[in-house]
Amino acid sequence: MNALVVNLVLLVAIAAEVVATTALARSDGFTRLWPSLIAGIGYAFAIWLLAYALRFMPAGIVYAVWSGAGIVLIALVAWLLYGQTLDLPAIIGIALIIAGVAILNLWSDATLH
C-alpha cells in the first residue's frame, strides 16, 4: 500500500479521535445526546481507520502516532476553544510528544512494513 494513503488514513483517524474526545468532554457523562452520539461515532470511525492502518504499519507505531498526535491536538483544542491553560511542565511534555511523533515519522524505518 502507498505510504501516503496509509498516512492519510492515520491522519483522519487522529482527527476523528480529537473530535470524539472533544465531544466526550461536552457530553456531561453521556447525559447530552448530540455530544454523546458524536463521541461514539467518532471513536468507532477512528478505530475502524486504525484497523486499516494496522494492516500496513506495526501496532506500536500506529498507536504511538495516533495517541501522541491526539494528545497534542486535544490540548490545543482545549486551549483555543475552552481557555484551558497548561503549565510549563505540561508544555515541555507536549513538546517531547511532538518530537517523538516527528522522529517516528521522519527517521524510523518501522513506519511501514
Q: Report pLDDT digits (tens) over 39-60.
A: 999 999 999 999 999 999 999 9
Question: Over 38-96, what HEC string results?
Answer: HHHHHHHHHHHHHHHHCCCCCHHHHHHHHHHHHHHHHHHHHHHHHCCCCCHHHHHHHHH
Reply yes or no on whether the pLDDT at 80 is more than 60: yes
List the chain domain ranges: 3-107
> What pLDDT is attached to residue 113?
55
Which of 109, 1, 23, 111 lies closest to 65 in space, CA to CA?
Answer: 111
Alpha carbon distance 95, 76 (integer Å):
12
pTM over 0.85, yes/no: yes
